[in-house]
Amino acid sequence: MIKHLSMILASTVACAAFCTSCNDSEVPDERLVSAYVDVMIVRQSSLDTTVIAQRVDSVLQHHGFTSTEFFDRVREEGQRPRMFKAMFDSVAARYERMRDTTSR
C-alpha cells in the first residue's frame, strides 16, 4: 500500500507540473482534498511503513473512504487534468496553511 501511495503522490506532482497552464473553474471534492492532505501528513510522520499503512487506513476511514475508494478517486481525478490541477492546488494550499499554523 505504501508503494501504491508513493506512486500516486509522485504522479500528482508530475500531473500538476503538466497542468500548470490549465485554466480551471471546477471545484474539487473537499472530502478528497482533506483526506489527501491528511495522508501526506501521515506519510511524513514515521519511517515505519507498517505504522504509516495503519495510520493511512485510519485517516481514510475517518474521511469515509476505504483505501481502494480513495486511490480510485485520485486516479479518476488524474484522468481529468483541469479537475486534477484544481484538486492539487487545493491540497497544496491547505497543506501550506497547516504548515504555517503548526510552525508558529
- Residues 28-47: tens digit of each pLDDT: 899 999 999 999 999 999 99
- What average pLDDT does the chain have? 83
- Grid coordinates standing for 81? 487534468
pLDDT band of residue 1 (cuts 50, 70, 90) is: low
This prediction has a pTM of 0.72
The grid coordinates listed for 63 are: 474521511
Judge whether residue 17 has pLDDT over 60.
Answer: no
Q: Is 46 left (phi over 0), alpha (psi -120 to 50) or beta?
A: beta
